[in-house]
Amino acid sequence: MLDLFQTGFAGLTWGSVMMLIIGGGLIYLGIARKMEPLLLVPIGFAIILVNLPFGDLMQMVDGEPVGFLARVFESGITTELIPIFIFLGLGAMTDFGPIIANPKTLLLGAGAQFGVYFAFFAALFLGFDINEAAAIGIIGGADGPTSIFLSNKLAPHLLGSIAVAAYTYMALVPIIQPPIIKLFTTKKEREIYMKPQLRAVLPAEKILFPIVGATIIILLVPKSAPLIGMFMLGNLLKESGVTDRLAVTSSGAFIDVLTILLGLAVGGFMSADNFLRADSLLVFGLGIVAFAVATAAGVLMGRLMNVFLKEKINPMIGAAGVSAVPMAARVVQKMGQQANPRNFLLMQAMGPNIAGVIGTATVAGIFLGLLG
């Protein structure tokens, strides 16, 4: 007869049961609500696996990874290879045309980074040290790989809660952003019509942009080189016209494999001991504050720009300055059409959206340069 005291049931604690529920909740959001399923499903399932007693999936012996998920974490996250290579895939999936055609949208992406600094100072005020505050603040950029990259450098003990907060809030963009956008805009502002047709961007411009962009940004912020370098390389592979196989692989099978490994590594780190702590739960709370402030700051930047622009922009596109690509741009598109059926804001919103990716990676480089 099976002796339950010799099975994992004997090792279940209230903490592990709570984490099983959290893992199941993330899987529910991914499958039933279709919120970032490519990440939330593997993260949620890994959380379940690592919180089943005696599986030893994250086992370490004399500082060396022995468990399966521990090896994935050590090889991909501790070495920083997975988040860096994900930027290669993201670059291969990105079209810089909207930024090149409308460079002023870079300001909207920059404005949204205010959320990062707001959360940084809030974390300091709440008693986190400066490295932890920087890692928490970057959640405001709504960029999962960047959050993982920076927290692994500065506050590895908070990696699990920071990563899950970043990806959860990215998934909840359609729920979090609309009320904030409405709060900081008037009905008349949301109705502002923007011409959907941007100027034609020459192929040569698209080829030069990643080369020139990487050079300037890395010269200004050297520590941003891993993320910005891979992001721009991926885009160059896409736009060069002679490396289609590499671009397709980078934006397809390669990033898909990395996404699975990332989900397993992040979820594997989220044992009850690592996550159910006061500081981890506080990180989760600060993450939503950072994301909300970033959204509001982008919208307010759009309103400020309209003071000086002859041809007004719809300030809602500033909300896409967070780097949740392309979810934030889709939210703006949907709200734009609700306010004015003539509006088609997707391409205009993609400019700030892509600028947000660049901005968050650059801010991470600034933090690393100062603190790393």
For the chain, domain boundaries:
66-371
Average pLDDT over every residue of 352-369: 93
Q: How confident is the model at residue 308 (pLDDT cuts 50, 70, 90)?
A: very high
Q: What digits encode the pLDDT tens for the residues 77-128?
A: 889 899 999 999 999 999 999 999 989 888 888 888 898 999 999 999 999 9
Q: Is 186 exposed, middle or buried (0-12, 13-18, 19+ CB in 10 A)?
A: exposed
Q: How far apart are CA 262 and CA 268, in angstroms?
A: 10
In this structure, what token pair is assigned to residue 370? Answer: 């100062």
Q: How confident is the model at residue 8 (pLDDT cuts 50, 70, 90)?
A: confident
Question: Average per-residue pLDDT in the chain?
Answer: 91
Q: How far apart are CA 73 and CA 261, in angstroms?
A: 8
Average pLDDT over every residue of 322-346: 90
Q: How confident is the model at residue 4 (pLDDT cuts 50, 70, 90)?
A: low
Average pLDDT over every residue of 46-66: 93
User: Higher confidence at residue 140 or residue 235?
Assistant: 235
Q: How confident is the model at residue 166 (pLDDT cuts 50, 70, 90)?
A: confident
Residue 11 pLDDT > 90, yes or no?
A: no
pLDDT value of residue 5? 61
Q: How confident is the model at residue 297 (pLDDT cuts 50, 70, 90)?
A: very high
Average pLDDT over every residue of 44-51: 96
pLDDT value of residue 315? 96
Those residues whose C-beta lies under 8 Å from the C-beta of residue 255, and which sit 6 or more positions away, are 86, 88, 89, 90, 92, 93
pLDDT value of residue 9? 81
User: Higher confidence at residue 1 or residue 49?
Assistant: 49
What share of the chain has pLDDT > 90, as a percent?
69
Average pLDDT over every residue of 266-288: 87
Q: 195, 235, 210, 174: which is closest to 348 by C-alpha?
A: 195
User: Higher confidence at residue 157 or residue 235?
Assistant: 235
